[in-house]
Structure 1
Amino acid sequence: MTESRYGRRAGFTTCAAAAALLLFTGCTGTPAPEAGITSSAPPAAVSSPATAPTPTSTLAPTASVVTSPTARATPAPEQPPVLAASAPVSLTIPAIGAESELLHLGLREDGSLGVPPEGPGSPASWYTDSPTPGERGPAVVLGHVNATGGGPGVFADLRQLTPGDRIEVTREDGTMAVFAVDRGEQYGKVDFPTLEVYGNTAGPELRLITCDGYDPATGEFDDNYVVYATLTA
C-alpha cells in the first residue's frame, strides 16, 4: 500500500479504472500542500458493470424426483427483499461526515466511464448501467479522493469506514435505501476482481469506488479502493 499526503501529490495526472470496454478516468488535479489525507487505492483494470450479468435472482436447483407419496420438493430459498427501482438523489455517510448529491453518469462515446468533475465540492455519481440503490444487485457509486486545486474529495475518507457503518441513499421516489458497510478492499489495476465487484448478488448491495494508492514517482494512482455494503432497510 502506498501512502501519501496531498502535499506530496503535486502534478499527478489521472487515475484510471480500466476494464474490457470500461475506463474509469479521473482523480486528477493539484492537491493542496497542507491537506492531510491518507490515500491508498486508485482505479484498476476492471470489466464494465454493463458487461457483467444483469443482476437477477438465481433459483435453487430443481429438487430431485422422489417416490414417497408424502415427500415434497424442497422449496427454493427466499431471496432478500428489494426496493422498487428509483434513481438515487443523494448519499450520506454519517461516520465520515460525507454528504453528496449524486450525478447520473454512464459511458462516454469512447467507452470510458463518465466520472464527476474534480473541482472542490464535486459530487459523487451513480453509474446508470448498474441497479438503482435498493434493487437487487450491486449499485455502483463513484467519487474522487481529492479535488482539483487541492483538498479532499467526497470519498477521501472511505478508508475510515468500518463494518456496520451506515450509508444512506435518498431516492427519487422519496424513499431512503440504508446500507451497512461490510468491508473495504484495495485492488491493483492488474488484478481487479471484476466479478466480485460488479457481478450478481442475491440481494441489494452497494459499491463505493474511489482512487487511491498514489505513486509520487509516476504521478498516478495505481489502485482502486472499493467499499462493499448491504441493504438493511
Structure 2
Amino acid sequence: MPDLTVIHATPRFVVIDKPAWLLSVPGIGPDKQDCVASRVRAMFPASRGPLIAHRLDMETSGLLVLGLDEDAQRNLSAQFENRAVAKRYVALLEGTPDAAEGTIELPLRLDVDNRPYQIVDFEQGRTSLTRFRVLASEPGRTRVEFEPLTGRTHQLRVHAAFSGDAFWPAREGKPPARSMAQPPPAPRVGLGRPIIGDVLYGRVRAERLMLHASELDFNDPGTGARVRLESGAPF
C-alpha cells in the first residue's frame, strides 16, 4: 500500500492524498486497522480527537482533510454537514453520457436486503444532488467532473450508473440494485454510464475504481480563511 502524501499541513489540520484501497477509518477485525486515521495519528503524534471530518470509499482515491485537534475536527465536520465545503471529483465512465453537463437529483437509501448497495427510492429515499460536466471523451469511455452538493453513501457511483430501471448486476449471485416505487411524472435518472472499475454498480473491470477526489475548498478552522487544494487524478 503506498504511503500517504501530505498535500497541506498546519498545526490545526492536514490534507492528504489517499490512495485507492486504503480505508478512511478502521474496520472490524485486525486486518482492517490500517487506515488514513491511524496513519495520520502516527505521522502527527501530537494530534488528538477523532481526526476524520469526512470519508472516501476504500476504492476511491483523493483529497481528505483531517482535524489535528478536537475543535478543528468539529469545525471541519460542521462545514461538511452544513455544505460549506466545495468538493469535486474526476471519474472515468463506461461509454458516453447523453448530456455534456447537467444536474442529477435522485432519492437514495440503503438496500437493507442487499448491503452495501444503495437504492433509488422515490418514496423513502433521501435527496441527493450532483452537478456534472464532461471533460473529455474517447472510444468506450468518458472523463467527467462531478460536484456533489450532498454527501450520500455511494452517491456519485449511483448517479453515474442509474439509468431509470435497474443497475447491471456486478457480482455472481447478486441481483442488480433497482429503483423502488414509481418515479414522478418528470423522469429523474442518472447518467446510465457506470464508473469504470465499479464492482457494485458497473460492468467494466479495472485494477481500481476510476474515481478520484480532485478538489477541496473549505474554511481554515483556525483562521477562517478559504483554502482551496487540488490533486490530479492518477488515471
Scaled to the shorter chain, the TM-score interval is under 0.3
Determine which structure has greater relative contact order: mean sequence separation of CA pairs < 8 Å that are 6+ residues apart, divided by chain length.
Answer: 1
Q: Which has the larger radius of gyration?
A: 1
Given the two structures, how large is their TM-score scaled by the length of structure 1?
0.24
